[in-house]
């Protein structure tokens, strides 16, 4: 076996790869051991997933929606008490998001002895939970989304004989492969927007309620829909990956860092009523 990213022998690798981190509730999207070697797997955990998961916007989102991490705990966020004393704000009820409960600030852990009094007076300042929060378009985000995109493609191709070998040997995938693994492209932007409220509760046909933590799909825009933006590009379709986290949609162009490709995506959206590719032409109540 060879590793999808470094292309080295991975026959002795022991770890499975979670396409989406376990700390976002993923237990099903997993690549079997050897598809990603242990070294790359370890690198992604430290250098790609952790910076994304601990960036202020994503951390605040995890806190607010009470997503338990691997150890079953909701990560705390930093806050300030009245007078500017830094405190850690804990949420001890994993799985129960803030909007679904009466008390707002749940628990505080700090060395400050008057913390109970401060809490009673509601004098805790935390990052704002802004409903239309859209994080800045950073390398941290696009490398994370690129990793999810490339590994999701691998998962699809692994269903076909020789699919993974094709993906390893096909050099047109080297730019995104190397960007995710080595970060060697300075600017590979995503398109980021909100497609539904982060607190949205979905109801399935049985009347069961749930929230959509993450969902994803590919979007292939055929050449006949293109404008003049990419006319020198010798491809038949433009491949995009669409990933949503609590209604925050991230779209990455998989074939290169070309920001014109994101303009093409925006044109696609205009033509399709600004409906996310995750929902366009599909039943609104689809299940993951
Ligand atoms: Zn590797």
User: Has residue 250 got a pLDDT over 70?
Assistant: yes
- Expressed in angstroms and rounded, the spacing between residue 161 Cα and the centre of ligand 1 is 21
Q: How confident is the model at residue 287 (pLDDT cuts 50, 70, 90)?
A: very low
d(CA 97, CA 104): 10
Tell me the per-residue pLDDT of 194-227, one tens digit each, with 9 for 90 and over: 999 888 888 888 888 888 889 999 999 987 655 5
- Expressed in angstroms and rounded, the spacing between residue 206 Cα and the centre of ligand 1 is 43
Helix ranges, 183-248 (H): none
Q: Give 99's DSSP letter.
A: G
* Average pLDDT over every residue of 71-95: 75
- Expressed in angstroms and rounded, the spacing between residue 37 Cα and the centre of ligand 1 is 4
Distances (CA, A) of 26 to 16, 29, 226: 13, 6, 35
Return the number of other C-beta atoms located less than 10 Å from residue 132's C-beta: 9
Total residue count of the chain as it appears in this document: 288
- The position carrying tokens 């590719």 is 277
- Expressed in angstroms and rounded, the spacing between residue 166 Cα and the centre of ligand 1 is 16
User: Has residue 265 got a pLDDT over 80?
Assistant: yes
Closest by CA position to 230, among listed 242, 217, 240, 241: 240
What pTM value is reported for the model? 0.86
- Expressed in angstroms and rounded, the spacing between residue 9 Cα and the centre of ligand 1 is 8
d(CA 37, CA 107): 40
How far apart, in Å, do the first and last CA atoms of the chain sit? Answer: 30
Which residues lie below 8 Å from residue 276, measured CB to CB, with a gap of 6+?
195, 242, 244, 249
pLDDT at 284 (0 to 100): 52
Tell me the per-residue pLDDT of 95-154, one tens digit each, with 9 for 90 and over: 777 666 665 554 455 554 455 555 555 556 666 666 667 888 999 999 999 999 999 999
Return the number of other C-beta atoms located less than 10 Å from residue 239's C-beta: 20
- Expressed in angstroms and rounded, the spacing between residue 213 Cα and the centre of ligand 1 is 28
- Expressed in angstroms and rounded, the spacing between residue 187 Cα and the centre of ligand 1 is 23
- Expressed in angstroms and rounded, the spacing between residue 28 Cα and the centre of ligand 1 is 22
- The position carrying tokens 């935390």 is 126
- Expressed in angstroms and rounded, the spacing between residue 40 Cα and the centre of ligand 1 is 4
- Expressed in angstroms and rounded, the spacing between residue 107 Cα and the centre of ligand 1 is 41
- Expressed in angstroms and rounded, the spacing between residue 158 Cα and the centre of ligand 1 is 17
Q: What sign results for the dihedral spanned by CA atoms 230, 236, 241, 242? A: positive
């Amino acid at each position: 076996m060879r590793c999808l990213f470094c292309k080295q022998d991975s026959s002795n690798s022991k770890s499975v790869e979670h396409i989406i981190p376990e700390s976002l509730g993923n237990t099903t999207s997993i690549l079997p051991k050897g598809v990603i070697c242990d070294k790359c797997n370890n690198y992604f955990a430290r250098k790609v997933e952790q910076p994304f998961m601990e960036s202020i916007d994503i951390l605040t989102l995890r806190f607010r929606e009470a997503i338990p991490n691997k150890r079953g705990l909701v990560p705390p966020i930093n806050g300030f008490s009245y007078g500017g004393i830094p405190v850690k704000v804990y949420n001890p009820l994993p799985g129960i998001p803030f909007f679904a409960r009466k008390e707002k600030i749940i628990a505080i852990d700090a060395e400050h002895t008057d913390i109970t009094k401060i809490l009673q007076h509601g004098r805790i300042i935390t990052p704002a939970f802004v409903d239309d929060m859209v994080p800045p378009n950073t390398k941290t985000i696009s490398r994370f989304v690129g990793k999810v995109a490339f590994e999701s493609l691998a998962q699809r191709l692994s269903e076909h004989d020789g699919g993974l070998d094709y993906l390893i040997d096909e050099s047109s995938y080297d730019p995104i492969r190397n960007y995710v693994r080595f970060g060697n492209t300075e600017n590979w932007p995503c398109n980021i927007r909100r497609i539904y409220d982060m607190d949205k509760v979905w109801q399935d046909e049985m009347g069961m309620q749930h929230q959509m933590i993450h969902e994803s799909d590919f979007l292939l825009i055929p050449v006949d829909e293109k404008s003049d933006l990419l006319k020198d590009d010798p491809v038949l379709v433009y491949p995009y990956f669409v990933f949503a986290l609590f209604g925050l949609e991230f779209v990455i162009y998989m074939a290169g860092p070309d920001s014109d490709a994101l303009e093409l995506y925006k044109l696609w959206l205009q033509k399709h009523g600004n409906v996310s590719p995750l929902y366009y032409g599909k039943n609104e109540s689809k299940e993951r």
